[in-house]
């Protein structure tokens, strides 16, 4: 006899676990299937786990603001047990460098004003007062290390925006496992070490999945939350042709560099979306600085097969560290730069897809584009509502669900996250979202 569930979720990353939590809270019998050995061990494990509220679109920022409160009140969100060990959110604040290319951040200010997101404008002097080791120089455009103009500054930035309500989660994999435990307390089931090998159909609807021991598991609802493998699972379900926005896997690196000597970056550092050096940085446990990259015309994008890519760091990490050293000239760069290489699941416009598909019963929470760790709690809630909305007979494609975001007074028209949308030209087309 095949096992039967109300819903199967493919992937136990932070998105799949958050969906499992919400669906099981509502009494559904849910199974989450993960090919690796533990929850959060896919791309979530290497996430920089930055929690911030600035996005290039009003809806993106509203979604992030709604989620912010769950990170601030993590134990409450999880309905955690007394004294349960949990991942922690560290609030340090986030900077955004403003210059010609991003129209001096005017759009972010406009969005922050609309959504009542607090921010300050810092001049170069204020930057130095707050972070004495910073070089507030204007270095754009990004260059290769061997470019004779590398590190040459073109005056100082006029100002940066500072968003105080921002920080990072110390351990993204553990945060995911916190959600897994919360979901299990609501009777969600998890299978680890099993790969979904096919999405099964019957009478034109989804009927469940098969896993790599040939077992068939039945469910009228299947959710693709497989991260960088999302396009492969969509292909298995045969739903790709019915999508206007598609996803693919992008290989990225994050350099881990020691903080400049005599400065406690872990305590006194900030996070920064630093388009001016084509990257982002944040403090890391152990007094290190993490330095990630932004998409740019100087460095080719590495679109890869998620089952066959180089998961070791390369010269790219050194380049990112060197770009970071423009900001922090006293930062020593070791011969062996440490870091990680992992994948983003990138949608064509770097905005996620939280949607149904053309196959009845098959849903997707994908295209997280390097910026949806922070949005997992509300993604879980939205997906649960969306599945209820569609399964009770509504046509989400023609009459999109309007989702009242938790914690803030804002209704999100979910066509923003539709697979059928036109490319959203308001997007930054980068990890900023
Ligand atoms: C380097 C890096 C830095 C980032 N920094 C930030 C940040 O600072 N802030 C932020 O908000 N976001 C950030 N992100 C993005 C964020 O981490 C992701 O959006 C989020 O973790 C994606 O979660 P997921 O559950 O969709 O994917 P994953 O965590 O990848 O989970 C998907 C799971 O599906 C499993 N799977 C795949 N195929 C199958 C199959 N056939 N059968 C069973 N299981 C399968 C995989 O093993 C995997 O565990 C970053 C991402 C990376 C890579």
Segment 339-384, tens digit of pLDDT: 999 999 999 999 999 999 999 999 999 999 999 999 999 999 999 9
E strand segments, 44-184:
50-51, 89-91, 94-98, 120-122, 159-163, 167-169
What six digits make up the tokens of 181?
A: 């435990």
Note the pLDDT of residue 28: 98
Please report where in the chains the tokens 């994948």 appear, as a residue: 343
The candidate with the shortest Cα–Cα distance to 74, out of 55, 90, 63, is 90
Q: Which class would CATH give 94-164+253-341? A: alpha beta
378 Cβ inside 6 Å of ligand 1: no
What is the best residue among 65, 227, 372 to mutate for testing ligand 1's pocket, by most ligand atoms within 8 Å of CB? 227
What is the best residue among 11, 255, 274 to mutate for testing ligand 1's pocket, by most ligand atoms within 8 Å of CB? 11
Distance set, CA 177 to CA 16, 40, 62, 197, 241 (Å) = 11, 7, 26, 24, 34
What six digits make up the tokens of 185?
A: 């307390």
| Segment 3-47, tens digit of pLDDT | 999 999 999 999 999 999 999 999 999 999 999 999 999 999 999
Domains 3-83+171-246+349-417 and 94-164+253-341 share a fold: no
Question: Which residue's CA is the nearest one to ligand 1's atom 15?
Answer: 370
Note the pLDDT of residue 334: 84
430 Cβ inside 6 Å of ligand 1: no
Task: Work out the percent of the chain whose per-residue pLDDT is above 90.
Answer: 97
Determine the distance from the C-alpha atom of residue 329 to the mean position of all C-alpha atoms in its chain, rounded to a whole number.
29
What is the best residue among 68, 226, 228 to mutate for testing ligand 1's pocket, by most ligand atoms within 8 Å of CB? 226
Measured CA angle at 55 (ends 423, 102), to 5 deg: 85
User: CB-side exposure of 72: number of CA atoms within 13 Å?
Assistant: 14
What is the best residue among 14, 34, 43, 341 to mutate for testing ligand 1's pocket, by most ligand atoms within 8 Å of CB? 43
Q: Are 320 and 431 in contact (CB under 8 A)?
A: no
Q: Decide: helix, strand or coil at residue 120.
A: strand
As to burial, measured by CB atoms within 10 angstroms (0-12 exposed, 13-18 middle, 19+ buried), residue 120 is: middle
137 Cβ inside 6 Å of ligand 1: no
Q: Are 405 and 62 in contact (CB under 8 A)?
A: yes
Distance set, CA 121 to CA 108, 159, 161, 168, 394 (Å) = 12, 7, 5, 21, 45
Give, for all 433 residues of the chain, the pLDDT tens digit.
Answer: 789 999 999 999 999 999 999 999 999 999 999 999 999 999 999 999 999 999 999 999 999 999 999 999 999 999 999 999 999 999 999 999 999 999 999 999 999 999 999 999 999 999 999 999 999 999 999 999 999 999 999 999 999 999 999 999 999 999 999 999 999 999 999 999 999 999 999 999 999 999 999 999 999 999 999 999 999 999 999 999 999 999 999 999 999 999 998 899 999 999 999 999 999 999 998 999 999 999 999 999 999 999 999 999 999 999 999 999 999 999 988 888 999 999 999 999 999 999 999 999 999 999 999 999 999 999 999 999 999 999 999 999 999 999 999 999 999 999 999 999 999 999 999 999 9
Q: How far is the CA of 403 from the centre of ligand 1 (A)?
A: 24
DSSP codes, 16-28: HHHHHHHHHHTT-
Which residues have a Cβ under 8 Å from the Cβ of 12 and sit 6 or more positions away?
20, 32, 33, 34, 36, 38, 39, 40, 176, 180, 190, 192
Residues written for the chain:
433
Question: Which residue's CA is the nearest one to ligand 1's atom 19?
Answer: 372
Q: How far is the CA of 222 from the centre of ligand 1 (A)?
A: 18
Q: How far is the CA of 125 from the centre of ligand 1 (A)?
A: 38
Q: What stretch of H or E contains 218?
A: strand 216-218
The C-alpha atoms of residue 73 and residue 71 are separated, in whole angstroms, by 5
For the chain, the structural domain boundaries read 3-83+171-246+349-417, 94-164+253-341
Q: How far is the CA of 136 from the centre of ligand 1 (A)?
A: 33
For domain 3-83+171-246+349-417, give the fold.
FAD/NAD(P)-binding domain (3.50.50)
């Amino acid at each position: 006899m095949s096992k039967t569930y109300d819903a199967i979720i493919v992937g136990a990353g932070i998105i799949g676990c958050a969906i499992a939590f919400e669906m099981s809270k509502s009494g559904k019998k849910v199974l989450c299937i993960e090919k690796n050995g533990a929850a959060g061990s896919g791309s979530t494990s290497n996430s920089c786990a930055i929690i911030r509220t600035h996005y290039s679109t009003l809806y993106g920022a509203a979604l992030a603001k709604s989620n912010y409160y769950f990170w601030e009140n993590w134990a409450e969100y999880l309905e955690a047990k007394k004294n349960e060990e949990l991942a922690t959110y560290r609030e340090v604040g986030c900077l955004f460098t403003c210059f010609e290319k991003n129209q001096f951040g005017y759009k972010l200010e406009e969005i922050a004003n609309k959504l009542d997101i607090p921010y300050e404008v810092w001049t170069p002097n204020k930057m130095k007062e707050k972070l004495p080791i910073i070089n507030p120089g204007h270095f754009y455009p990004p260059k290769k290390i061997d470019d004779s103009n590398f590190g040459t500054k073109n005056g100082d930035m006029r100002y940066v925006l500072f968003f105080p309500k921002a920080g990072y989660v110390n351990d993204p994999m553990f945060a995911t496992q916190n959600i897994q435990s919360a979901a299990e307390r609501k009777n969600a089931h998890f299978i680890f070490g099993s790969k979904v090998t096919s999405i099964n159909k019957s009478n034109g609807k989804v009927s469940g999945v098969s896993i790599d021991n040939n077992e068939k598991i039945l469910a009228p609802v299947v959710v693709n939350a497989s991260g960088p493998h999302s396009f492969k699972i969509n292909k298995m379900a045969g739903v790709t042709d019915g999508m206007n926005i598609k996803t693919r896997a992008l290989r990225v690196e994050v350099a881990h560099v020691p903080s400049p000597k005599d400065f406690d970056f872990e305590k006194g550092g900030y996070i920064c979306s630093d388009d001016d050096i084509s990257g982002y940085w944040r403090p890391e446990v152990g007094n290190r600085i993490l330095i990630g990259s932004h998409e740019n015309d100087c460095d080719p994008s590495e679109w890869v097969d998620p089952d066959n890519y180089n998961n070791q760091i390369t010269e790219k990490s050194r380049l990112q560290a060197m770009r970071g050293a423009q900001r922090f000239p006293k930062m020593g760069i070791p011969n062996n730069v440490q870091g990680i290489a992992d994948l983003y699941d990138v949608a064509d416009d770097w905005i996620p897809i939280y949607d149904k598909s053309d196959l009845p019963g098959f849903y997707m929470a994908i295209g997280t584009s390097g910026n949806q760790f922070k949005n997992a709690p509300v993604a879980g809630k939205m997906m649960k509502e969306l599945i209820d909305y569609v399964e009770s007979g509504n046509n989400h494609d023609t009459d999109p669900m309007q989702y009242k975001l938790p914690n803030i007074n804002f209704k999100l028209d979910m066509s923003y996250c539709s697979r059928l949308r036109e490319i959203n030209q308001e997007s930054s087309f980068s990890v900023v979202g």
